């Protein structure tokens, strides 16, 4: 690993206009990171990465680098691009536990963070660094949100999230596990108890249905439910996964590791929404794909579907009238998720969009004063790095709001 990373770092051309940085949603200073690494300044490189993106090590493992930083590397035009993700992972993973934590409640004001996914962790870190008292409310027993309960361990080790949990506690951040806001405690309770700014980053945990017969059958499950704890499912020998995004790839690859012998992904169109890398890994693991399969019903024997005819670009030309059955012991539906409305239903003044997501402005302000939001509950199911990038802007807005609140209280 170390020799590979050093060689990759030496391949970097140190471009005057680093296109790789432009291709990164959070504008990671890749050129400077590699320059410091090559100058044997790994601690400084690690601090640089963490300051720009507190979840740098996580993003180095789960981002779609082929479309982002590495996809913009100029070396990729004639040969293979610099393997930026490996360099970033090596540096950020090695330095994460050595980066000093700031633990000083120097500013008046408290912030409540609801949800400990990528957005929640990012904002908790940034506000704690600014000196605010921060409490992180997590509905499950451990922090991480979709990072822990939606991404398989073979893609993102849970031990890494455990390290983040320890780091948050060392920063003086209070963590309340098994506390779902909108049940016993509400947003009104938080404001009553002096939380000046409240952040909602609860993600999207409500599965989207296909809207066809059979989705309530005992052999049918939803992807987000399965990924939370795959060990409790008995899927049999043959599994069909309906959907073609990264979640579908995660389900398919996890099922094979849990003992399923045959996994087939039914793609409703001729295109796969998952990243090229995740699809390649799925194929390498033995996952089969059928394109243009339009499910019409789910049964205890398998999936009833109509086969679509596709053109050269993978677009649907026409759909056959005849219905076929693809046999399966179990079926998992993986066609995205929506937001739950527990907090919205228990809080006045919070508006949602037509998609059922929280309505905010560009800096995360919701329609109720003092309440902010970002991440998937605002953007829909998106990437980790997009959630972090957006949350950096929201943290600045929350900081400004808390300062204004302090001034008002003094007056």
166 belongs to a structural domain:
yes
Render pLDDT for 292-302 as a digit per residue (tens, 0 to 9): 999 999 999 99
- The pLDDT of residue 13 is 95
Q: Do residues 167 and 115 share a domain?
A: yes
Residue 390 maps to a domain = yes
**pLDDT tens per residue, range 326-384:** 999 999 999 988 877 788 888 889 998 888 888 999 999 999 999 999 988 888 878 89
Are 71 and 181 in the same domain? no
| Residues 168, 175: Cα–Cα separation, whole Å | 8
The span from the CA of 166 to the CA of 173, in Å, is: 10
Question: What was the pLDDT predicted at 104?
Answer: 74
Contact by Cβ (8 Å): 373, 362: no
pLDDT digits (tens, 9 = 90+) for 231-261: 999 999 999 999 999 999 999 999 999 999 9
Average pLDDT over the chain, rounded to whole? 93
Q: Where are the alpha helices (DSSP H) in 17-143?
A: 19-22, 30-38, 42-52, 56-62, 69-72, 84-95, 118-129
In angstroms, the Cα distances linking 243 to 225, 259, 331 are 15, 21, 11
Single out the residue in 55, 71, 98 at which a domain terminates: 98
If asked whether residues 221 and 327 sit together in one domain, one would say yes
Angle between helices 158-170 and 118-129 (to 10 degrees): 30
Polymer length in residues for the chain = 411
In a domain, 103, yes or no: no
Model confidence at 152, pLDDT cuts 50, 70, 90, reads: very high
| Residue that is last in its domain, among 335, 364, 382 | 335
Residues 131 and 278 in one domain: no
pLDDT at residue 64 is higher than 60: yes
Structural domain ending residue among the three candidates 98, 122, 150: 98
| Average pLDDT score over residue span 185-192 | 95
Give the tens place of pLDDT for each residue, 387-409: 999 999 999 999 999 999 888 87
If you count DSSP H runs as helices and E runs as strands, how many of each does the chain have, helices first? 17, 16
- Backbone dihedral angles phi then psi of residue 117, each to the nearest 5 degrees: -80, -165
182 and 234 assigned to the same domain: no
Asked whether residue 2 carries a pLDDT value surpassing 60, the answer given is no
Per-residue model confidence (pLDDT) at position 68: 94
Neighbours of 348 (CB within 10 A): 8
Q: Determine the pLDDT at residue 379.
A: 82
Rg (CA), the chain: 23
What is the band of 144 on the pLDDT scale with cuts at 50, 70, 90? very high
User: Can you tell me the distance from the alpha carbon of 167 to that of 102, in angstroms, rounded to the nearest whole number?
Assistant: 10
The token duo for 126 is 């940034």
Residues 194 and 242 in one domain: no
344 and 201, same structural domain?
A: yes
Flag whether 213 is in a domain.
yes
Determine which helix (DSSP H) or strand (DSSP E) holds 306, and give its type and residue range: strand 302-310
Q: Are residues 232 and 200 in the same domain?
A: no
For 292, 301, 316, 324, the CA distances from 308, given in Å and listed in that order, are: 5, 21, 6, 11
Q: Strand ranges (DSSP E) for 155-231?
A: 174-176, 195-200, 206-207, 220-222
What single-letter DSSP state applies at residue 352? B
Give the domain extent around 148.
Answer: 110-206+339-410
CATH code where residue 29 lies: 1.10.1060.10
Q: For residue 310, what is the domain's CATH number?
A: 3.50.50.60
- Is residue 200 domain-shared with residue 347, that is, in the same domain? yes
Beta bridge partners of 264: 240, 288
* pLDDT 10s digits, 159-181: 999 999 999 999 999 999 999 99
d(CA 320, CA 401): 57
How many domains does the chain fold into? 3
Residues 134 and 147 in one domain: yes
**Token pair belonging to 113:** 């963070």
Q: Is residue 82 part of a domain?
A: yes
The answer to whether position 105 is within a domain reads no
| Position 411 pLDDT exceeds 80 | no
Same domain, 34 and 124: no
Is a pLDDT exceeding 60 seen at residue 1?
no
Residue 104 within a domain: no
Task: Indicate if 361 and 323 belong to the same structural domain.
Answer: no
Predicted confidence band at 3 (pLDDT cuts at 50, 70, 90)?
Answer: low
Q: In angstroms, how far is CA 328 from the centroid of its own chain? A: 30
What are 180's two structure tokens? 């779902």
Which H or E run contains 317? strand 316-319
Q: Distance between CA atoms of 409 and 161, rounded to whole angstroms?
A: 38
């Amino acid at each position: 690993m170390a020799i590979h990373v050093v060689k990759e770092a030496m391949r970097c051309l140190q471009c005057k206009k680093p296109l790789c940085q432009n291709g990164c949603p959070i504008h990671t200073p890749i050129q400077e990171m590699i320059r410091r690494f090559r100058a044997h300044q790994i601690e400084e490189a690690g601090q640089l990465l963490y300051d720009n993106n507190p979840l740098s090590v996580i993003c180095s493992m789960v981002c779609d680098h082929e479309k982002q930083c590495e996809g913009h590397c100029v070396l990729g035009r004639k040969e293979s691009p610099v393997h930026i993700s490996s360099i970033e992972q090596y540096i950020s993973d090695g330095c994460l536990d050595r980066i000093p934590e700031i633990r000083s409640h120097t500013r008046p004001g408290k912030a409540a963070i609801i949800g400990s996914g990528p957005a929640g962790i990012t904002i908790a870190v940034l506000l704690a660094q600014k000196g605010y008292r921060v409490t992180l409310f997590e509905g499950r027993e451990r922090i991480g949100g979709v990072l822990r309960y939606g991404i398989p361990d073979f893609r993102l080790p849970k031990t890494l999230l455990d390290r983040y949990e320890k780091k948050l506690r060392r920063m003086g951040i209070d963590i309340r596990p098994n506390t779902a806001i909108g049940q016993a405690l509400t947003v009104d309770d938080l404001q009553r108890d002096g939380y000046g700014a409240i952040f909602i980053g609860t993600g999207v945990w409500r599965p989207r249905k296909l809207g066809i017969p059979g989705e309530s059958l005992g052999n049918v499950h939803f992807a987000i439910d399965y990924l939370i704890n795959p060990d409790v499912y008995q899927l049999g020998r043959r599994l069909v996964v309906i959907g073609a995004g990264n979640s579908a790839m995660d389900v398919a690859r996890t099922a094979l590791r849990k003992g399923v012998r045959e996994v087939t992904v039914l793609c409703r169109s001729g295109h796969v929404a998952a990243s090229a890398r995740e699809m390649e890994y799925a194929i390498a693991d033995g996952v089969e794909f059928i394109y243009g399969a339009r499910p019409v019903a789910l049964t205890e024997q398998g999936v009833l579907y109509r086969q679509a005819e596709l053109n050269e670009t993978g677009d649907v030309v026409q759909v056959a009238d005849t219905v076929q059955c693809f046999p399966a012991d179990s079926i998992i539906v993986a066609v995205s998720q929506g937001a739950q409305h527990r907090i919205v239903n228990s809080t006045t003044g919070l508006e949602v969009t037509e998609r059922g997501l929280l309505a905010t402005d560009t800096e995360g302000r919701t329609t109720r004063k003092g309440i902010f939001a970002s991440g998937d509950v605002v953007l829909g199911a998106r990437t980790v790095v997009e959630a972090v990038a957006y949350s950096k802007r929201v943290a600045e807005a929350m900081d400004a709001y808390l300062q204004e609140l302090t001034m008002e209280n003094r007056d």
